Amino acid sequence: MKRVIATTMVLSLSWGLHAAAESTPAKDYILVEAEAFSSYGGWVLDPQFMDIMGSPYLLAHGLGKPVADATTEVDSPVAGTYRVWVRTKDWVARWKAPGAPGKFQVHINGKALESAFGTVGAKWHWQDGGSVDLPSGKVSVVLHDLTGFEGRCDAILLTQDAQFIPPNRDPEMAVFRRACLGQPEQPETAGKFDLVVTGGGIAGTCAAISAARLGLKVVLIQDRPILGGNNSSEVRVWLQGARNKEPWPRIGDVVSELEQQKSAHYGPSNTSEIYEDEKKLALVRAETNITLVLEHRVNGARVEEGSLRSVIAQSTRTGRCQRFIGKYFADCTGDATVGALAGADFEMEPKGRMGPCNLWNVAPTQEAVSFPRCPWALDLSDNPFPGRGKGKVDPNKLGGWYWESGFDWDPMQEMEYVRDWNFRAMYGAWDALKNVDKVLPNYALNWSAHILGKRESRRLMGDVVLTLADLTKDQPFPDPAAPTGWSNDLHYPDPKYVKGFEGNAFISHAIHGKYPAYIEKRPFWVPYRALYSRNITNLFMAGRCISVKHEALGAVRVMRTGGCMGEVVGMAASLCVRHDATPRTVYERYLADLGELMLGGTGTRSPPIPSSLKIE
């Protein structure tokens, strides 16, 4: 793990877009970013919300058991008294819930600060940690979790300026971070590529591999340390949908290479090993035309005359930014992040979207185990939920796909709220079973995803917008590109469990729209023209952020289908490079060439790719 913790002499800052040395004397600021700790211990890195709060943070995701300490060392430039600030929050305070489940301590040079952190403030803020006397030289810093219930720390600041209060909002805080860490104001150029793929889920990984095998120079940018997105050990959703279907039986070959050998199930058998994270990484790393950039989140884009020129990606470990220049781009983020940054046309339902979930499960233990009361969780003492019944309980119904919320909350700006609401539902349910119903004595919480498994947010608009009418009328398109094979599966709050949680339900049910192709057990083919932006001339998309109406999204959002989309995007990008064409021009002039590539496929077991269609 690369460690970047800076001790920098930072001059007085002009809280605008630049740090400026003015008339005040220099002060010592030691900024310790939590993501840059040398050892996370049992804490986990959470970058999901860094677009909102400016950086990732460490989360004490212990399911009610305190996690092991996160540790690091910093250099104290001079001996003296330092005031300590810790950027954190009381994560249940926004609901005025009793208690402070995210409580933790900060130890400096082996001594705990007097303050407990994560105990005040509904929003992210700098909590005052008092003062500490430090020698010059190496100083140890430790995050010590006290509860195991989702404590969180963004950064620690030590300063000899007793009157200084660090900035809490961007752009002031971003300027301060850069100055303290000694980072350049402008991102470094990381290279020029034929295709820049953002998002390392199944769709993005397939797009990158497909394009690379056709000879393109590709960069694949992913904000996690592993690939697969929802189909990874972090989220643990197995693949659904169609692949390798007539009349294009080779579409899906790359998906099949990535697909795990075992089928997953809800409950404790849904283990991390099933998802074969290392296999996905090995497949990508084996492609010499792919530059794999992990743990970087794209949060900037440069557009000229309606075309993307570059994207900026920020390291989730160091905060350092890099610019990636490309001829063509593929937005496979699910949230249409690149498209939104570039000004691409998109749609998003104001309310009534499918929500994200955090899968969880319980497992049997050899002896009876207790669980603490959680007065800050959702009070489900008298509420039904899946798995809870009169006189009986089914542990396998706990934590399945239907533990879903956020239907009416903004899927970018309010996702920390939604994830934490999912946590409160999980802990509230387990509290009710263990301490109210007094059942499952020989069971314990076993695993919970801290990374959201998202279903719906922004959808980028292409030359064709797939509609429910297209599905129900069995509309054939002249440019079929990716097979569905899934029902039009849309999720809504389950009315059986809404009472008391109107407007903020946490259990869903699925309405399976059965259109003709699904009923007849044949694929419906998504058109190629739904896989590129209608107003950003060099932007492709694959996955759940393609050009589709909400009412039809359920049929195309699953990951095998998204992976097939990615394969075709890689093929189309190769034709764009060969002919110096736009994605739209591929449809207008080179659709037959795209069909030839689709017939051949880009899998390792596919027929050889015609040399006339491969970039050498």
Model confidence pLDDT, tens digit, residues 584-600:
999 999 999 999 999 99
In a domain, 333, yes or no: yes
Residue 566 has pLDDT above 70, yes or no: yes
- Domains contained in the chain, number: 3
Bridge partners, residue 292, by sequence: 220
Residue 127 has pLDDT above 80, yes or no: yes
Percentage, residues of the chain above pLDDT 90:
89
Residue 494 has pLDDT above 50, yes or no: yes
pLDDT of residue 54: 86
Per the CB < 8 A criterion, the answer to whether 577 and 216 are in contact is yes
Of 151, 181, 211, which residue sits at a domain end? Answer: 181
In a domain, 467, yes or no: no
* Domain containing residue 83: 6-181
pLDDT of residue 122: 96
Per the CB < 8 A criterion, the answer to whether 70 and 37 are in contact is yes
Tell me the per-residue pLDDT of 338-355, one tens digit each, with 9 for 90 and over. Answer: 999 999 999 999 999 999
Q: How many CB atoms lie within 10 A of CB 608?
A: 7
Regarding whether 411 and 284 lie in a shared domain, the answer is no
Name the nearest CA neighbour of 480 among 517, 511, 425: 517
Percentage, residues of the chain above pLDDT 70:
96
CA 139, CA 613: separation in Å to the nearest integer? 59
Regarding whether 219 and 176 lie in a shared domain, the answer is no
Of 134, 151, 181, which residue sits at a domain end? Answer: 181
Residue 4 has pLDDT above 60, yes or no: no
CA angle 110, 115, 120 (to 5 degrees): 140
Q: What is the dihedral of CA 575, 578, 582, 587, to 10 degrees?
A: -40
CATH number reported for the structural domain that contains residue 327 in this entry: 3.50.50.60
Regarding whether 366 and 312 lie in a shared domain, the answer is no
Model confidence at 5, pLDDT cuts 50, 70, 90, reads very low
Regarding whether 56 and 177 lie in a shared domain, the answer is yes
In a domain, 423, yes or no: yes
CA 122, CA 492: separation in Å to the nearest integer? 29
Please state whether 280 falls in left (phi above 0), alpha (psi between -120 and 50) or beta.
alpha
Regarding whether 100 and 12 lie in a shared domain, the answer is yes
In a domain, 381, yes or no: yes
In a domain, 92, yes or no: yes
pLDDT of residue 19: 34
CA 257, CA 601: separation in Å to the nearest integer? 12
Tell me the per-residue pLDDT of 178-212, one tens digit each, with 9 for 90 and over. Answer: 999 889 989 999 999 999 999 999 999 999 999 99
CA 7, CA 21: separation in Å to the nearest integer? 18
pLDDT of residue 348: 97
pLDDT of residue 613: 82
Q: DSSP assignment, residue 34?
A: G
Regarding whether 541 and 493 lie in a shared domain, the answer is no
Q: DSSP assignment, residue 432?
A: I
pLDDT of residue 264: 75
CATH number reported for the structural domain that contains residue 96 in this entry: 2.60.120.260
Tell me the per-residue pLDDT of 23-43, one tens digit each, with 9 for 90 and over. Answer: 233 357 899 999 999 999 999
Regarding whether 558 and 493 lie in a shared domain, the answer is no
Listed range (366-375, 381-390, 533-542) with the worst mean pLDDT = 381-390
pLDDT of residue 579: 97
CB within 8 A of 294, min separation 6: which ones? Answer: 200, 222, 224, 225, 226
CB within 8 A of 580, min separation 6: which ones? Answer: none
Regarding whether 170 and 214 lie in a shared domain, the answer is no
Q: Where are the alpha helices (DSSP H) in 87-195?
A: 172-181
pLDDT of residue 31: 96
For the segment 379-383, the average pLDDT, to the nearest whole number, is 96
Regarding whether 61 and 94 lie in a shared domain, the answer is yes
Regarding whether 408 and 260 lie in a shared domain, the answer is no
pLDDT of residue 614: 79
Per the CB < 8 A criterion, the answer to whether 540 and 531 are in contact is yes
Tell me the per-residue pLDDT of 265-291, one tens digit each, with 9 for 90 and over. Answer: 788 999 999 999 999 999 999 999 999
Edge-to-edge strand order for the sheet containing 27-33? Answer: 6-10, 27-33, 155-159, 80-88, 125-134
Token readout for 20 is 């400026």
pLDDT of residue 252: 97
Regarding whether 430 and 376 lie in a shared domain, the answer is yes
pLDDT of residue 448: 98
CA 47, CA 40: separation in Å to the nearest integer? 14
pLDDT of residue 266: 84
In a domain, 468, yes or no: no
Name the nearest CA neighbour of 255 among 223, 286, 289, 210: 210
CA 576, CA 430: separation in Å to the nearest integer? 53
Residue 113 has pLDDT above 90, yes or no: yes
CA 160, CA 29: separation in Å to the nearest integer? 7
For the segment 487-510, the average pLDDT, to the nearest whole number, is 97
pLDDT of residue 279: 97
Model confidence at 3, pLDDT cuts 50, 70, 90, reads very low
Regarding whether 145 and 30 lie in a shared domain, the answer is yes
CA distances from 247 to 244, 251, 301, 524 (A): 9, 9, 38, 11
Q: How many CB atoms lie within 10 A of CB 16?
A: 10
Burial of 355 (0-12, 13-18, 19+ CB in 10 A): buried
CB within 8 A of 521, min separation 6: which ones? Answer: none
CA 560, CA 292: separation in Å to the nearest integer? 22
pLDDT of residue 522: 96
In a domain, 471, yes or no: no
Name the nearest CA neighbour of 335 among 204, 211, 184: 204
In a domain, 462, yes or no: no
Of 155, 181, 207, which residue sits at a domain end? Answer: 181
Burial of 288 (0-12, 13-18, 19+ CB in 10 A): exposed
